[in-house]
Amino acid sequence: MAPLVRLLAVALLAASQLASAQTYPNRAIKLVVPFGPGGSADAIARPLAEKLTAALGQPVVVENKPGGLTVVGADLVAKSAPDGYTLFFMPGTHVLTPVMVQNTPYNPIADFTPIAYLGAQPYYLYANTQQPFATLPEMIAYGKANPGKVTMGVSDSVTLVIASAFKSAANLDFTIVPYKGGGPQNADFVGNQIGMAVGTPNMMQFVTSGKARALSVTTPARVPFAPQVPTIAELVPGSNFNVTTWYAVAGPAKLPRPIVERLHAEIRKAMDDPEMRKRLDDQGVVKPADTSPEALAAVMKDYQERMTTLIKAAGIKPE
């Protein structure tokens, strides 16, 4: 009898999930961004939310929940009901919280349901134009002559890894300044409260407006949308930089498959929209060949393993 009861329970659950998916969505959806407003994540999440609002027929509202190296926003999603009404705009840094934050209150992989992989994005070392250097070699020379005087902003765990690894590779003594997101960091960067920042292509707007310079990129080769910017490896002998971030959409664990499939289909359509594609190109986001939940699950696992090795090699300890 017990096996029959279990089988019946599974069948009832599947029927309930199917009925829920058929009426989904019938109210507003929250898209939680684990950073403050104004950063590169916001620049992608907000237009995506607009496209999904039109496609789903219900408001998709971005909620910025910064803090704790993405822990505040992620924890909210992990503890929400698996009904598709609370989604997570997931940055690559999310899967690194166990090695960056003591006592992380969730498992960044097991407690989330992958929905859609949006694409990868490189990082740059930027300097504002009020600094006494215009190239990375000049910055290194200045830093060696003025120990501790250069300040470099970071907004998440990956940018902290980049700054720490660069500091070690170039044998420099400079001050790393942590922020709770790209928005606050960028405001201080433009206002010359910090002289440098590790940032995504979102900060190229300051280069275009004459407020900043892109000194180097963190990929192994120069990127097509900014071929004039040299790699760190070109300028720092012996360094081996290959660090990008990525963005995705996920939900809490046990999100019903029919809802996952509905959301993935609409997100994929939104990402292929010419207007949205231009926004992504402007942000330097490389379109993936596979956006599926399975592809995202593989990216999460690979990134966690690879970046954890770099974090430990850089000597970064959990906060």
Q: pLDDT, tens digit, for every residue of 141-155?
A: 999 999 999 999 998
For residues 41 and 97, give the distance between their C-alpha atoms in angstroms, rounded to a whole number: 17
Q: What is the pLDDT of residue 224?
A: 84
| Global pTM value | 0.80
Please name the residues in contact with 200: beta carbons below 8 A apart, sequence gap of 6 or more: 40, 121, 122, 123, 124, 182, 245, 283, 284
Q: What is the pLDDT of residue 279?
A: 85
Selection from 217, 252, 293 nearest residue 80 by Cα: 252
Q: For residues 99-110, b (16+ Cβ closer than 10 Å) or e, as one string?
A: bbbeebebebbe
Is the confidence at residue 157, as pLDDT, over 90?
no
Is the confidence at residue 5, as pLDDT, over 70?
no
Q: What is the pLDDT of residue 190?
A: 96
User: Residue range 289-313: average pLDDT?
Assistant: 93
Selection from 101, 165, 160, 167 nearest residue 314 by Cα: 165
Q: What is the pLDDT of residue 56?
A: 98
Average pLDDT, the chain: 91
User: Residue range 182-211: average pLDDT?
Assistant: 95
The domains located in the chain, with CATH, are: 27-120+246-313 (3.40.190.150), 124-235 (3.40.190.10)
Q: pLDDT, tens digit, for every residue of 238-252?
A: 887 888 889 999 999
Using the structure block, give the residue that is written with the tokens 């922020």. 179
For residues 90 and 36, give the distance between their C-alpha atoms in angstroms, rounded to a whole number: 14
Cβ–Cβ under 8 Å, residues 250 and 113? yes
Cβ–Cβ under 8 Å, residues 41 and 91? yes
Using the structure block, give the residue that is written with the tokens 């330097």. 284
More reliable by pLDDT, 256 or 316? 256
Q: What is the pLDDT of residue 202?
A: 86
Using the structure block, give the residue that is written with the tokens 């684990």. 34
| Residue 141 CB neighbours (<10 A) | 12
